[in-house]
Copies of this chain bind each other. A is one copy, B any other.
Amino acid sequence: MENKVKVGIVGATGYAGVELVRLLLNHPYTEIVGISSVSFGGRDISEIYPGLRPEFQKELSSDPQQFLKGCDVVFASLPHGLSEGIALACMENDVLFIDLGADFRLDSENDYRKWYGKPFDYPKLHTQSVYGLCEWFREDIKKAKLVGNPGCYPTSIALGLWPALKKGLIQPKGIIIDSKSGVTGAGRSLTQNTHYPECNEALAAYKAGAHRHLPEIEQTLSKAGSGDVQVTFLPHLVPVNRGILSTIYCDCPADMETVRAAYEEAYGAERFVTVLREGEYANIRNVRCSNSCHISLHRDEHSGKLIVCSAIDNMVKGAAGQAVQNMNLILGLEEDCGLTAVAPAF
C-alpha cells in the first residue's frame, strides 16, 4: 500500500478506544490522524495511558469534527445514542464508519426503543448499516460503508452456536447461556462494583433477563438457519481484566461426530476461530489480547446436553479487534492485518 489509511477514533480514552489505538499502532497500513475524548480533550492521550509512551503521543480533540473529514475510516466507541450523528457526518463525507457502540446493532427500531429507551435518530442510516460479525456476514461487510460492530457477549455466543444452528443440529429454543466477563467489560467509569477491594475475590451474576445484549443475541442467532432462537442469558462479573467465557447448554439430537464436523467445516479455514480438540476446554487465558475465539465442544453423556464453551477477549474479538477486522475486510486488506499477535501465555 502506498499511502496509509487515515484513521480517526472517537472516544479514544474509553477502554475500547484505547484498545483500538493499541491495535492500530501495530497495523502495517494505518495511521491514526485524529483522536477525541469528551473527558480529556486538550490533553495528550499518553498522560492518561502512559503505556503508550514512547510509541504514541497525540493530543485529544474535544470534537471529532476537527479531524473527521480528513479520515478514510472513523471508529467510534461511545455510549448509545451518540454514534448516529457521527455516522451521518461520515456518510456525508464518504468516510467509512465503524461503530463499536450499540447504535447500529439492532435491526428493529422497536427493539432499540424497548431496550435503549429512544428511537433511531436517522432511520435511513440503519438501512445502510451492516452487522459486523465477520465470520458470518463477511460478504455483506465487504460492501458496507457503515458497520455496527457486535457486542462482546453476542460475539462469543454467535460464534459458539452458529455452526450448530446453521446445520439444524440443535433445538433453537430453550438454550441456556451462562456468560462470564472480565471487568473491563464494565468500562472505565468508576462504580462500587468495580472498585478493586469489592470486585477482587468476588463473583456474582447481574442483570438477569435485563441485559441489553439479549435482543442482539437472539436477532443474530435467528439468522443462522434454524428459525427463531430463544435463549436464557445470564452474565456474571469475574475478577479478571479481560475475557469472556460463554458456557452454552443446548438440546442436540445429533451425535458428536456430526456436531464436530459442522464446526470444523465452518471454522477450518477461519483465521480467528479455533475449534479445540476433544478433551480441551476453551479458556480466556488462551485468547487474551488476541483476536481469537476458542470454542470447545462437550457432550454431557449423563443428561445428553451439548455444551459449547466459547472464549474471546472482550476487548479484542469482542470490540476493537473485530472492528479492525471489519475495516480490513472493507478495505480489501488481508483480514488479519494488525491482528496477528498470539495470546501471551501468561
Residues of A near any B CB (own CB < 8 A): 15, 18-19, 22, 25-26, 49-56, 174, 176, 178, 180, 182-184, 188, 190-192, 194-206, 208-209, 214, 230-234, 236, 238-243, 245, 247, 249, 271, 274, 276, 280-290, 292, 294, 296, 298-303, 305, 307, 309, 311, 315, 340-346
In the complex, the 8 A-B pairs of residues with the closest C-beta atoms, listed nearest first: A51-B343, A202-B285, A204-B283, A51-B286, A208-B298, A209-B300, A190-B190, A178-B178
A-B pairs with beta carbons under 8 Å apart, 19 shown: A15-B346, A50-B280, A50-B294, A51-B286, A51-B343, A54-B271, A178-B247, A178-B249, A202-B283, A203-B238, A205-B247, A205-B298, A232-B302, A234-B249, A236-B247, A239-B239, A242-B346, A289-B344, A315-B346
A194 nearest CB neighbor, chain B only: B196
Do residues B341 and A209 form an inter-chain contact, with CB atoms below 8 A? no
Measured in the bound complex, the distance between the Cα atoms of B194 and A192 in whole Å is: 10
Q: How far is the CA of A281 from the CA of B206 in the complex (A)?
A: 7
Report yes or no: B197 in contact with A195, Cβ–Cβ below 8 A. no
One complex includes copies of this chain to the number of 4
CA distance A209 to B256 in the complex (A): 14
Beyond A15-B197, A22-B341, A239-B239, 11 additional contacts (C-beta under 8 Å) are A51-B285, A51-B288, A52-B342, A55-B342, A195-B196, A196-B196, A196-B200, A201-B346, A205-B296, A205-B309, A238-B238
Residues B195 and A195 in contact, CB atoms below 8 Å apart? yes
**Closest CB in chain B relative to A245 CB, distance in Å:** 5
- A51 lies within 8 A of B209 (CB): no
Tell me whether A202 and B284 are in contact in the complex, defined as CB-CB below 8 angstroms, given that A194-B196, A195-B188, A208-B298 are known contacts: yes
Q: How far is the CB of A267 from chain B (nearest CB, A)?
A: 9
Contacting residues, chain B, for A180 (C-beta < 8 A): 180, 203, 236, 238
Partner of A242 from the list B201, B205, B245 (CB cut-off 8 Å) is: B201
A234–B49 alpha-carbon span in the complex (Å): 23
Contact A341 B341 (CB under 8 A): yes
The listed residue (B196, B247, B309) touching A239 by CB distance below 8 A is B196
